[in-house]
Structure formats: structure tokens, C-alpha cells
Amino acid sequence: MNKPAKPLSRNSTGAKGSKGAKRAAGPQGAERAERVAAPPLALTLYWRGDRLERLELGWIEGKDGAPELPVAASPEAHAVHKALTRLAAGQDAKFPDLPLCWDALPAFTALVLRTLFEQVPSGRTVTYAELAAMAGQPGKARAVGQAMARNPWPLVVPCHRVLGAGGALTGYTNPHGLDLKALLLALESGQGQDQSARG
């Protein structure tokens, strides 16, 4: 999974006190950003034109309710907020079809991430080796791991569902690390409520 770039501001990191979606110039050339929060999770959507360049996944501490989005938030942000709220509650959540910038990725990375996106639904996990085989690239588990590290759209393209050999939790490069990966899997299994608070 990709390592998020420096946040826009303190509010974009998932700290308490955020007021819903924020629009501003984003890092790495993104033209605007919208922040969607449903504690304990937050997603920042970075847009270039009408295409979603990348997502930043964060973990909110505390149990504050999910803030309402402003009326000016995009339809996509509202749909993501609805799905994120369901996921944070341990309910079945289907993220909307989003205009992801697939053609900006290297061919192998795009192939592996598309395979994951299309063939590994919520509640299912695969190993790096299994995903390599599913993508028609048997024997390339290490390269698949590198592709997961480059995933621009965490959670929506669910690299947290990819495990090491024997089902080991490995390889999650989000700053919150394997704790967040374990939380996401628990939420998707409907068993994450006791793990959603920290500290």
C-alpha cells in the first residue's frame, strides 16, 4: 500500500475536531482534496480534474460521531462517506465506482491492483502468491508486494486483504501499520467494534 504524502493540515490527519470534507490544493499536484471521516476511519480524496488521483487513509482516535459533509462536497465524497460510515460500524460496505487514474500506473501495478479490485471482495483475503497467480503472473509474489506498496487508493482498492504466506499480517506501509490492517479486516468481518478505539 502507498505511503501517504504529507497531510494538507492537522485536520487532514484524522485528528478530532474536523468539520467534514475540505477542499484545497493537495500534495503531488492534486488540484483539490476532500476529507471524509467516519471514526475510527478517515479518507482524504485527492482530485485532479474529475479523476481521483489518490486516497489517504487515516485512523481517528476517540469515538466522536462522523461529521456531516458540506453541501458543496462532491457526489463521490458523499457516497464514500456513506460506505465508510457503514464499514466503521462493522456493517457490509460497498464503495462507489470512482474515476480512478488507472492509466497513470505502471502496467504491472495496474494489472495486479485491478485483479485485486475486481476479484477479492470484502470478507475474503488472499496471499501475495495467490494474487500473483490470479493476475496471470505466477511466481511473482515479491513483485505483487511491491505493487501493493504503490497502491494510490487504499481501502477502495483493498490491499489490506493481501496477506503473507500462511495468512501472516505483513507488508502494510500505512503509518498506522499492521494495527490498522488488522482493524480493517476485523471491521469487514463484523468483529471490529472492540478494536476500533485506541488508547
Strand order in the sheet with 32-38: 32-38, 41-48, 51-59
Which pLDDT score is estimated for 29?
Answer: 66
Which pLDDT score is estimated for 191?
Answer: 64
Domains, the chain: 10-88 (no CATH), 103-195 (1.10.10.10)
Which pLDDT score is estimated for 105?
Answer: 97
Taking the chain (199 residues) in runs of 10, the rounded mean pLDDT of each run is: 36 34 50 93 95 94 69 94 94 94 97 98 96 98 96 97 92 88 93 49
* Residues tagged active-site: 159
